[in-house]
């Protein structure tokens, strides 16, 4: 949940984007094409990739699109028999779901004690049937996979492709990139890293970047340009003529038009605000996560509560997020991670992600982003620790101050009142 600049909303209400049809001829949309081109280039640079498409409209669709490209790549090399995709057990649920929709069988490999890839497990999982490995780095525990290059080597040696889930890209921009780590394809979440607002569940935007050997399979079309020639209209007057181009062996379409152009334009405005300083954004996201983790695990002012949790993963530093295992609290007084999350609502906080990743029992995941100030982080840590020492009944019956009290999710699934009952 990061800052969503109001400027971006002002820009997307301009007729030059709101009142544009995706099938207009190139000469009528030179401005939009130039923004697409600039975003493709910027995203390629940030991820160390060679080509980018902005067509996928959500992270999950980006995953699906990249796995489709990898599938066609294998087919074109006479490797259609490769039918397995490897995912760590800490992966986002979309990873196995996306690969499965392409027809792949999923091999889930266990993570090591510290939440990192178990290289031995990976070695025994790969083979002549490996199509790809899907992994996010830093992992969903907020820990950087230091063995990532070795993992990539193992998968590549077996003939597989490496896919980078960019959900956690906010942690590493400018500090490393998936290309260096050995990845062949990556998706970006413009709604996580580049400020497209979440809107209660969407719209998102999930562009993908690929290395050159996969670029000819990208969905159609992508924005391209050439030097402006005599006789060309003036366009955006930057010396180039922009046009839509179909990649040579394109998989076709994954969204019916050119993706969520409105999200692309918002993210373009966000990028322009940072420029080459995008790196500062990641630094501050990581600074905030580590600072909050430190505050929670090293309380000031004699606050108690730290015996109520374990760290989800031991690590000297985390990246943009970290996890806590609330099992000790549950053992002590029966209050669950969910109860703690609900009590945080009373204090005016949006609760952390709950029970994910599944490999951490009673998991709470904290991702403050670069947007929160030091004061907010200090106050949050103090309130969080306060909650852990509260009467367990107060937690179990939380929230107390919200518009409605705890909502019965089981009843919702049993009675299934999904529309207004007019009769």
Distance of CA 189 to the CA centre of its chain: 5
DSSP labels, 229-247? -TT---TTSSSEEEEEE--
- Which window, 121-129, 281-289, 306-314, 326-334, contacts other proteins (CB under 8 A)? 281-289
Helix 30-47 with 261-274: angle, nearest 10 deg? 60
Q: Which pair of structure tokens corresponds to residue 227?
A: 């030097």
Residues whose CB falls within 8 Å of the CB of residue 93, separated by 6 or more in sequence, listed in order: none
Binding residue (CB under 8 A) for other proteins from 151, 324, 341, 385: 341
Q: Is 263 in the site for other proteins (CB under 8 A)?
A: yes
Binding residue (CB under 8 A) for other proteins from 76, 80, 81, 103: 103
Q: Which pair of structure tokens corresponds to residue 19?
A: 């009142």
What element of type H or E holds 332? helix 327-333
Least distance in angstroms from the C-beta of 311 to other proteins: 15
Binding residue (CB under 8 A) for other proteins from 112, 249, 356, 392: 356
SS3 category, 209: strand
Contacts to other proteins from residues 389-418, by CB under 8 A = 397, 399, 402-409, 411-413, 415-418
Q: Is 57 in the site for other proteins (CB under 8 A)?
A: yes
- Which window, 52-60, 120-128, 157-165, 328-336, contacts other proteins (CB under 8 A)? 52-60
Angle made by CA atoms 73, 75, 77, in degrees to the nearest 5: 75
**Phi, psi dihedrals of residue 266, rounded to the nearest 5°:** -60, -45
Which residue is associated with the tokens 């007057």?
237
Q: Is 243 in the site for other proteins (CB under 8 A)?
A: no
Binding residue (CB under 8 A) for other proteins from 162, 372, 381, 387: 372
Of the pair 332, 405, the CB lying nearest other proteins is at 405
Q: Which pair of structure tokens corresponds to residue 54?
A: 């902005």
- Which window, 102-110, 117-125, 157-165, 379-387, contacts other proteins (CB under 8 A)? 102-110
Contacts to other proteins from residues 19-38, by CB under 8 A = 19-25, 28-32, 34-35
DSSP structural state of residue 109:
E
Q: Is 253 in the site for other proteins (CB under 8 A)?
A: yes
Binding residue (CB under 8 A) for other proteins from 74, 187, 211, 342: 342
Report which of 183, 209, 204, 200 is spatially closest to residue 192, judged by C-alpha positions.
Answer: 204
Q: Is 294 in the site for other proteins (CB under 8 A)?
A: yes
Binding residue (CB under 8 A) for other proteins from 251, 311, 333, 379: 251
Give the burial string for 236-264 (b: 16+ CB within 10 Å, else e): eeeebbbbbeebeebbeebbeebbbbbbb
Binding residue (CB under 8 A) for other proteins from 12, 153, 383, 392: 12
Q: Is 314 in the site for other proteins (CB under 8 A)?
A: no
Least distance in angstroms from the C-beta of 123 to other proteins: 19
Per the CB < 8 A criterion, the answer to whether 162 and 155 are in contact is yes
Q: Is 64 in the site for other proteins (CB under 8 A)?
A: yes
d(CA 215, CA 201): 30
- Which window, 286-294, 302-310, 322-330, 382-390, contacts other proteins (CB under 8 A)? 286-294
Of the pair 174, 328, the CB lying nearest other proteins is at 174
Total residues binding other proteins (CB under 8 A): 151
Of the pair 225, 342, the CB lying nearest other proteins is at 342
Residues whose CB falls within 8 Å of the CB of residue 217, separated by 6 or more in sequence, listed in order: 68, 69, 72, 73, 210, 247, 249, 250, 251
Least distance in angstroms from the C-beta of 77 to other proteins: 17
Cα–Cα distances in angstroms (integers) from residue 362 to residues 118, 304, 350, 357, 413, in the given order: 23, 20, 18, 10, 23
Q: Is 334 in the site for other proteins (CB under 8 A)?
A: no
Q: Is 119 in the site for other proteins (CB under 8 A)?
A: no
Q: Which pair of structure tokens corresponds to residue 275?
A: 């420029």
Q: Which pair of structure tokens corresponds to residue 127?
A: 């083979």
Contacts to other proteins from residues 128-187, by CB under 8 A = 143-144, 146, 148-149, 172-177, 180-181
Least distance in angstroms from the C-beta of 172 to other proteins: 7
d(CA 384, CA 368): 14
Binding residue (CB under 8 A) for other proteins from 156, 213, 245, 255: 255
Least distance in angstroms from the C-beta of 207 to other proteins: 12
Least distance in angstroms from the C-beta of 382 to other proteins: 14
């Amino acid at each position: 949940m990061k800052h969503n600049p109001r400027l971006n909303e002002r820009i997307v209400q301009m007729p030059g984007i709101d009142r544009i049809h995706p099938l207009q001829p190139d000469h009528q949309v030179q401005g939009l094409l130039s923004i697409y081109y600039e975003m493709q280039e910027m995203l390629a640079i940030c991820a160390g990739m060679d080509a980018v498409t902005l067509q996928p409209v959500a992270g999950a669709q980006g995953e699906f699109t990249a796995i489709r490209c990898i599938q066609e790549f294998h087919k074109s090399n006479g490797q259609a028999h490769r039918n397995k995709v490897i995912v760590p057990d800490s992966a986002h649920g979309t990873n196995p779901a996306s690969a499965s929709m392409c027809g792949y069988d999923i091999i889930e490999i266990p993570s090591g004690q510290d939440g990192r890839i178990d290289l031995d497990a990976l070695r025994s999982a790969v083979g002549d049937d490996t199509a790809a490995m899907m992994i996010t780095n830093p992992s969903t525990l907020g820990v950087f996979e230091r063995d990532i290059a070795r993992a990539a080597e193992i998968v590549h040696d077996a003939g597989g492709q490496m896919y980078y889930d960019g959900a956690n890209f906010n942690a590493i921009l400018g500090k490393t990139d998936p290309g260096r780590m050995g990845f062949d394809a990556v998706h970006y979440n413009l709604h996580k890293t580049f400020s497209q607002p979440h809107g209660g569940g969407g719209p998102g935007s999930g562009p993908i970047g690929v290395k050159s050997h996969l670029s000819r399979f990208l969905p159609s079309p992508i924005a391209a340009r050439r030097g402006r020639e005599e006789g060309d209209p003036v366009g955006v007057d930057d010396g180039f003529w922009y046009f839509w181009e179909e990649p040579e062996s394109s998989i076709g379409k994954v969204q019916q038009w050119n993706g969520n152009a409105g999200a692309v334009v918002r993210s373009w405005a966000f990028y322009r605000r940072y420029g080459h300083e995008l790196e500062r954004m990641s630094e501050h996201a990581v600074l905030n996560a580590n600072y909050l983790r430190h505050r929670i695990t090293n309380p000031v002012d004699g606050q108690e509560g730290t015996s109520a949790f374990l760290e989800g993963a031991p690590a000297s530093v985390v990246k943009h997020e970290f996890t806590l295992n609330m099992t000790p609290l549950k053992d002590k007084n029966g209050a669950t991670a969910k109860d703690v999350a609900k009590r945080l609502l009373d204090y005016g906080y949006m609760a952390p992600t709950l029970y994910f990743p599944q490999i951490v029992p009673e998991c709470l995941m904290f991702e403050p982003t670069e947007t929160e100030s030091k004061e907010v982080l200090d106050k949050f840590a103090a309130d969080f620790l306060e909650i852990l020492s509260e009467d367990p009944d107060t937690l179990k019956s939380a929230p107390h101050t919200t518009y409605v009290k705890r909502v019965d999710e089981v009843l919702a699934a049993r009675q299934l009142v999904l529309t207004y009952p007019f009769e």
